Amino acid sequence: MLGDVTDARSYRVMGVLNVTPDSFSDGGRFLDVDAAIAHARALVDEGADILDVGGESTRPGAEPVAAERELARVLPVLEGLAAAGVTETTQVSIDTCKATVARAALDAGASLVNDISALRADPQMAGLVADSGAGCCLMHMLGQPRTMQLAGGPQYKDVVDEVRAFLEERMLFAVREGVREQRIMLDPGIGFGKTVEHNLTLLRRLPELAALGRPLVVGTSRKSFLGQIIAADEGQQEPVAAEQRLPGTIATNVLALERGASVLRVHDVAPVRAALAVAAATLGERWTARGTTRTS
């Protein structure tokens, strides 16, 4: 059925397509519709099982974007992907917190709503997901993108316990609103209102989150905590640049797979997928790639 997601044992690679001027690692590169579609097709060729299209940056400090502007960025790209037949072979996700954007994206061929607010930002989102039959990804975030990493830093008594309780509560909320549990994925929100140690603790203890029984999405790709770790190892004060964080991205994705992650959200699909293939072969048949099978 449309929107149903895989069980928590198999893994898929979600390729990131930011149609924004200000995303932290590739802002402005794919604002042009043709460039965005070409990049999407390249991600599919590299092995992306899901394309995650977003028109509003969620980097720390990012300012909100009006729905009209967000739609103007993503809708031509989604329509172009549909016209090119991409939505027939590859699942397309819309990365948005706005029901109006999600509705237009679903009409244009998307079948998954990736909502970093976990259905909190827009009161109409849960009903839209329930009625449309789309899948959804519910993510943990402390605060809002523009405030989540302010001076003083985010505070938790136990980051894993609190993230798990939040995700469980949001999943129960979604089900009460009519979303079938089989359509739900969960994301601990690496880098969203967390310190370096919070992120590492979540990665170490992913099995506690995977125990919730839904496919677990992990997005560490090019994130600043990797830049900080690599820089510290090299004796540098400032984090290394985003394009130098691929080794850390690969390492964390392989570890996340071993600890129960089902969907790995990345910018660099080909090298991460190759690393995951080797890791999965080593771990055994429980960790099997989905290939290009749709989740509908």
Q: Is residue 84 part of a domain?
A: yes
Per 3-state DSSP, the chain is made up of helix, strand and coil in percentages (nearest 5) of 45, 15, 45
Identify the pLDDT of residue 213: 96
Decide if 180 is inside a domain: yes
Residue 1 in domain: no
103 is catalytic: no
CATH number, domain containing residue 127? 3.20.20.20
- The two three-digit tokens of residue 164, written as one number: 């798990």
pLDDT in tens, the chain (296 residues): 345 654 545 899 999 999 987 555 554 566 789 999 999 999 999 999 999 999 998 767 667 889 999 999 999 999 999 999 999 999 999 999 999 999 999 999 999 999 999 999 999 999 999 999 999 999 999 877 656 555 567 899 999 999 999 999 999 999 999 999 999 999 999 999 999 999 999 999 999 999 999 999 999 999 999 999 999 999 999 999 999 999 999 999 999 999 999 999 999 999 999 999 999 999 886 677 765 333 33
pLDDT number for residue 143: 76
CA atoms of 258 and 73, how far apart (whole Å): 36
| Structure-token pair, residue 86 | 């991409």
Q: What 3-state DSSP class applies to 101?
A: helix
Q: Is residue 288 part of a domain?
A: no
pLDDT on residue 17: 95
Distance CA 204, CA 35 (A): 37
State how far the Cα of 46 lies from the Cα of 58, in Å rounded to an integer.
Answer: 25
Question: What pLDDT score does 197 carry?
Answer: 97
- Strand 217-218: give its sheet, edge to edge: 184-187, 135-139, 112-115, 91-95, 50-54, 12-18, 263-266, 217-218
Give me the catalytic one of 223, 245, 259, 273.
223
Indicate the DSSP class of residue 277: H
Whether residue 224 is contained in a domain is answered as: yes
User: Which of 165, 284, 270 is CA-nearest to residue 221?
Assistant: 270
Query: Do the domain assignments include residue 153?
Result: yes
C-alpha span between 202 and 274 (Å, rounded):
24
DSSP 233-257: HTT-SSPPPGGG-HHHHHHHHHHHH
- CB 208, CB 159: distance < 8 Å: no
- Tell me the whole-structure pTM to 2 decimals: 0.91
In a domain, 53, yes or no: yes
* Contact call for residues 27 and 63 (beta carbons, < 8 A): no
User: Could you say which of 170, 194, 265, 273 is catalytic?
Assistant: 265
* DSSP class of 188: -
Cross-strand bridge partners of residue 51:
15, 92
Q: Which domain holds residue 24?
A: 12-283
Active site residue 73: no
Task: Domain count for the chain, please give it.
Answer: 1
User: For residue 20, what pLDDT is reported?
Assistant: 86
Domain-located, residue 238: yes
- β-pairing, 12-18 with 91-95? unpaired
